[in-house]
């Protein structure tokens, strides 16, 4: 089960039009370019000037590569709580109307923006029909993968291919990796330390994809399910949350209070060692859909916890 909830967006927002924010810097590169997606190859004929991002993660990737989208599927009212690391960048281009109330692409709203490139994640184009409808509006790019949560560097390389920023993407990947490794280097035996990432529900714990923690040098616990395909851990097996670093998201105040009152949870090793991180929606978003800007914020959030291991 995906740990981070997709932020519900409703209502009609004003889409960007000619004369409003567009790419702040060209990605360069030679066009046309062909990008492989799970639903076939997509050709981007010319350097895009009206990029539409179907979420904060793909917007993060584009902005990191020097291209500001003309519109992003996001709710401007929730930017500070959902994506504080780029709230200012998205404030003028966030449009909740690009998605329906159940999180699906709104084809009419998207077409009205007149994009020349659509950036999506794999879960937003789960079938060929959705993909073909979007691709009929503008070349639609998502990684060539069946995974719901594609690795962040794979997603970045896919976006960079479409934007002509492949060289810059490799620099970003190297830079992010080095910055995380530097934090992890403060723990001499970091490779022997484990992590778990779960959402706390009333009936148990659901594992999320915490593979980004391996950038610090941490190792997934034996039961850490980064595929998110396994069964939840029932409450009576709370003691199996025994990793050195435990990240837990309690979505409601009631869920959080339950952790404080649960004697099994309070005796976990990470609680006693102060290496448990109580996540909020922003953290869950950053970890579930990581991209360069969000990863920088995430690293800062976790640095004190990693430091406790030293």
Neighbours of 144 (CB within 10 A): 16
* Total domains present in the chain: 2
Q: What is the pLDDT of residues 139-192, one digit of tens each?
A: 999 999 988 778 999 999 999 999 999 999 999 999 999 999 999 999 999 999
Asked if residue 263 lies in contact with residue 239, where contact means CB atoms within 8 angstroms, the answer is: no
Q: What percent of the chain clears pLDDT 90, i.e. is strictly above it?
A: 86
Specify if 80 maps to a domain.
yes
Host domain of residue 271:
177-307
| 44 pLDDT higher than 50 | yes
* pLDDT at residue 18 in the model: 33
Residue scoring higher pLDDT (5 or 129): 129
* pLDDT at residue 195 in the model: 98
| 16 pLDDT higher than 50 | no
Q: What is the pLDDT of residues 286-296, one digit of tens each?
A: 999 999 999 99
Residues 157 and 183 in one domain: no
* pLDDT at residue 304 in the model: 97
Non-local (6+) Cβ contacts of 308 within 8 A are 273, 274, 275
Asked if residue 114 lies in contact with residue 88, where contact means CB atoms within 8 angstroms, the answer is: no
Percentages helix, strand, coil for the chain (3-state, rounded to 5) are 40, 15, 40
Q: What is the CATH number of the domain that holds 232?
A: 3.40.50.1980
Specify if 172 maps to a domain.
no
| 68 pLDDT higher than 60 | yes
Specify if 38 maps to a domain.
yes
Q: What is the pLDDT of residues 216-249, one digit of tens each?
A: 999 999 999 988 888 999 999 999 999 999 999 9
What global pTM score does this model have? 0.88
Average pLDDT, the chain: 91
Residues 130 and 250 in one domain: no
């Amino acid at each position: 089960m995906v740990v981070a909830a997709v932020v519900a967006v409703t209502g009609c927002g004003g889409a960007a039009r000619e004369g409003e924010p567009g790419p702040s810097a060209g990605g360069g590169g030679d066009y046309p370019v062909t990008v492989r997606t799970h639903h076939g190859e997509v050709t981007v004929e010319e350097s895009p000037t009206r990029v539409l991002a179907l979420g904060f993660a793909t917007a993060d990737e584009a902005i990191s590569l020097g291209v500001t989208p003309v519109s992003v599927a996001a709710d401007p009212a929730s930017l500070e709580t959902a994506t504080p690391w780029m709230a200012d960048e998205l404030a003028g281009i966030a449009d909740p109307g690009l998605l329906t109330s159940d999180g699906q692409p709104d084809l009419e709203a998207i077409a009205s923006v007149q994009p020349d490139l659509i950036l999506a994640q794999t879960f937003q184009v789960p079938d060929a029909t959705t993909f073909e409808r979007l691709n009929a509006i503008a070349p639609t790019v998502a990684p060539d993968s069946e995974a719901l949560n594609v690795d962040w560097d794979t997603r970045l390389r896919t976006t960079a291919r479409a934007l002509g920023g492949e060289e810059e993407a490799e620099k970003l990947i190297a830079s992010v990796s080095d910055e995380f490794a530097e934090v992890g280097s403060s723990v001499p035996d970091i490779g022997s330390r484990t992590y778990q990432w779960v959402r706390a529900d009333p009936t148990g714990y659901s594992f999320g994809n915490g593979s980004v923690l391996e950038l610090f040098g941490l190792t997934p616990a034996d039961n850490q399910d980064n595929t998110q395909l396994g069964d939840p851990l029932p409450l009576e097996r709370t003691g199996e949350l025994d990793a050195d670093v435990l990240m837990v998201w309690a979505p409601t105040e009631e869920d959080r209070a339950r952790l404080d009152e649960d004697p099994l949870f309070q005796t976990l090793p990470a609680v006693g060692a102060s290496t448990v991180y109580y996540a909020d929606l922003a953290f869950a978003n950053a970890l579930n859909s990581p991209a360069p800007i969000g990863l920088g914020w995430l690293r800062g959030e976790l640095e004190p916890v990693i430091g406790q291991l030293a």
